[in-house]
Amino acid sequence: MHTILELLTKTTEYFETKGIESPRLNAELLLADVLECRRLDLYLRFETEPTVEELNKYREYIKRRGNQEPLQYIVGYTEFYGLRINVNAGVLIPRPETELLVEEVIKDAGGRKGVRILDICTGSGNIPIALKANLPEAEVTGLDSSAKAVMTAKENAALHTKGGGIKFIEADITKPGIEFEEGFDIITANPPYVSLGEYPELERGILDYEPKEALTDSGDGLSFYPLILKICEKWLKPGGRLYMEFGTGHAEELKKIMVEKDYTNIKIINDYREIPRIITGEKK
């Protein structure tokens, strides 16, 4: 048998040979999940020997991670805005950059009661769930074309809000006929924005495991934004705000489109690498 320290050391060395970024951290997170403990607790148990069942599960985890499968899919969850969000191969893994969008909405909507929010391309439900958790009096709706995504979003919402607390709708924004009972004060969207040309250049773990339809529009990376703005024409209230995440190099084009649609107070927010990533504007 092997102690926890020996397992972490050997796994780290193996992950290094496989080109896994942050190999020691990956080894610790996977073993902590197997042992159902906090990562820092491993340091108090270095001389402990896992059971045969735990060791076999950990070996399976190592094999999957060595094949570049994202750690989040292996353990089945990730953290987003301080919340545990379950993920699977049917949904995109939430990125830290999207927390900036959530943060901006909370800052703008904080203190307002009865705010109605719509999230388009909701995926795992991370955006509406984080917004509802921080704006408990808001009425929040999530929309996605994938039945698997809507199911995952509903399951995640049930973990963080009593009785769900968020309405999820399966609908395709590329097709006409999407209807709501009334308009929204805020609309958010994180659509597929990787261009078809950029898609093959993504990391192997992304290409092999994350859903292609959640990453790329199979075009220039901009095709979803006119569709979102079309929905906003009818369903975003005058004076309401739109928040959208976008890909590298698209900031000026999106700003131009929003100006043409008579949006005002347009603001572009950089991500953690100082790359323009979020655009927000107010509908006249």
List of long-range contacts for 39-48, beta carbons under 8 Å, 24+ apart? 42/4, 42/8, 45/4, 46/3, 46/4, 46/5, 47/3, 47/4, 47/5, 48/3, 48/4
Query: What pTM was estimated for this model as a whole?
Result: 0.94
Amino acid at 59: R
User: 78: which strand partners?
Assistant: 85
Least confident range from 82-96, 110-124, 218-232: namely 110-124
CA distance 13 to 23: 8
| Predicted pLDDT at 113 | 85
Q: Give per-residue pLDDT as tens, 146-182.
A: 999 999 999 999 999 875 679 999 999 999 889 999 9
**pLDDT exceeds cutoff 70 at 97:** yes
The domains of the chain are located at 4-67, 89-283
Q: Give per-residue pLDDT as tens, 250-266.
A: 999 999 999 999 999 99
Q: Give per-residue pLDDT as tens, 31-66.
A: 999 999 999 999 999 999 999 999 999 999 999 999
CATH number of 89-283: 3.40.50.150
CA distance 280 to 258: 9
Residues 6+ apart with CB under 8 A from 136: none
